[in-house]
Amino acid sequence: MRRLLLPAVCSALLIPLFTLAEAADPEPGGGNPDAAIQRLDKAVENAEKIGREKVEKQRKELMERLKRQHDGLVKRKKEKEARELNDRIRLVESMLPGKGLDTKLNVTKLLDKASSSGKYRQLLHVLYLPQDKPNYNEFTDYGHYTGTAYYDYNNLSPGYWVYVYPRWYIWKELKP
């Protein structure tokens, strides 16, 4: 009798734990994207100690995971969440060894500032250009620009440019 009871009790205990884990992390294979980006930023800052190859591997793995999460959101027709995750993917693309976020803001606040407090949406490109600080200060909402090249960056889409040191954020559209 005890042998039959033990599996039933274990199953009863595991089912609520699994459901709780799903509630805390609704995206399959997920986790908190912002926390993962912050961890990557710490690794990028310490790339010389950790090793540039390890940091680049961590960045690529995070990119793959975020893209899988994004695809899942698109399939479930969660457009707003998919758009927000896409913004994070674009940010991670720009985070190479030696090119950290260089900010005290968390990822959500950084992207809010970069969108001029929600004025713009759908991030197209993120350009790492700390050398633009003398001309554009810590923050500049430059507005719409149709250029397709800037410094070493080519094939850029026209969009709304916002500078939040040390990056330019190029947005597709004004928020309706």
Where is 122: in which H helix or E strand?
strand 120-128
Is the pLDDT at 72 greater than 90, yes or no?
yes
Measured over the CA atoms of residue 100, residue 50, residue 106 and residue 102, the dihedral's sign is negative
Q: What confidence category does residue 31 fall into, taking pLDDT thresholds of 50, 70 and 90?
A: confident
Task: Report the C-alpha gap between 56 and 37 in whole angstroms.
Answer: 13
Q: Do you find a cis peptide bond into 166, omega within 30 degrees of 0?
A: yes
Percent of the chain with pLDDT over 70: 83
Average pLDDT for the chain? 86
Coil, helix or strand at residue 1: coil
Task: Report the C-alpha gap between 115 and 47 in whole angstroms.
Answer: 28
102 vs 30, more confident: 102
Task: Report the C-alpha gap between 78 and 62 in whole angstroms.
Answer: 21
Q: What confidence category does residue 30 fall into, taking pLDDT thresholds of 50, 70 and 90?
A: low
Residue 123 β-bridge partners: 171
Coil, helix or strand at residue 160: strand
Is the pLDDT at 93 greater than 50, yes or no?
yes
Is the pLDDT at 114 greater than 80, yes or no?
yes
DSSP state, residue 150:
B
- Return the pLDDT at 141: 98
Q: Which residue's structure tokens are 């009790």?
A: 9
Residue 163 β-bridge partners: 140, 168
- CA 93, 163, 152 angle in degrees (round to 5)? 55
- Return the pLDDT at 12: 40
Give the pLDDT confidence of 152-167 residue by residue, as tens digits.
999 999 999 999 999 9
Burial class of residue 31 in the structure, from the number of CB atoms within 10 Å of its CB (0-12 exposed, 13-18 middle, 19+ buried): middle
- Return the pLDDT at 108: 96
Is the pLDDT at 82 greater than 70, yes or no?
yes
Give the pLDDT confidence of 4-18 residue by residue, as tens digits.
444 443 444 333 333
